[in-house]
Amino acid sequence: MKFSSAFLGLLAALSVRAAISESELKENTAKGLRLISLAEGVDPVWKTEDEKLDLMRSKINFFDVTEVYDPNTPITALSGTVSSLVTYAPPSHQDEVKAIIATLSLDNMKSYLATLTAFNNRYYKSQTGVDATNWIVKTVGDIAAAYPASQATVKAFTHTWIQSSIIARIPGTSNGPVTILGAHMDSINLNNPTNGRAPGADDDGSGTVNLIEAFRALLASGFKPATPVEFHWYSGEEAGLLGSQAIAKSYKAAGTQVKAMMQLDMTA
């Protein structure tokens, strides 16, 4: 599922002023209800899982903020948290980048995609969703292990649901703000989310395999970034951008500085 201005939208979802009590949050969550943000500046509303599916079928964009909403912490308005637009210098290091681009393998990406789409689905609550995540962790981990000089690391970011997100990190020569390249690895069949067939080749198998191959090409080139570069594969995007919100909340709490973020979704 493709969203415009997705990263700013994440900040918007995290900037809703607490209007729901802690007791209401616990009570309704225990009933299986989900807290849904439909628009910036508007209080989120409670929906059942079936009502969430109806929103998806109607192609209505939303954030499921159940996991990140904090009734005890009124958060600053979005306008106060997003920096003003900055004018940057023209792209540099073009010779180095072109040399790395020349090493990208379409055959590799086709092979990765064939494996990803062979899973029945990659739904965030399904076992095949977990299996797909485990395959990505192993694939990316094997790439990192093949280039130990890179000091790249790969780890699962666990959630309250069964499918983890994944973070691969290439350390920088300094520990400055992180640059993030992301994609969501989950898929969904809107008629039968848990068991229905959902190969998700374009949405978002395409972005997922782009990231894997970009990670491989950078490590193979001996790439040494000035500041850390991370590759994120998000869980639960189709259900309301769950994985990316959880990571954004974690980074905010830890004071992690983000230099830039680029999301790859439906790139085929």
Alpha helices in 15-159, H assignment, sequence order: 22-30, 49-57, 94-101, 106-118, 127-146
Q: Which amino acid is at 251?
A: Y
Q: What is the pLDDT of residues 123-181, one digit of tens each?
A: 999 999 999 999 999 999 999 999 999 999 999 999 999 999 999 999 999 999 999 99
- Residues 180, 11, 73: CA angle, nearest 5 degrees: 125
Closest CA to 115 of 94, 93, 139, 99: 139
**Phi, psi (degrees; rounded to nearest 5) at 190:** -70, -15
Over residues 203-211, the mean pLDDT reads 98
Q: Tell whether the model's pLDDT for residue 9 goes beyond 90.
A: no
Q: Are 181 and 262 in contact (CB under 8 A)?
A: yes
Tell me the domains of the chain and their CATH numbers.
6-80 (no CATH), 94-263 (3.40.630.10)
Q: Tell whether the model's pLDDT for residue 202 goes beyond 50.
A: yes
CA distances from 93 to 75, 131, 187, 213, 253 (A): 39, 38, 36, 20, 34
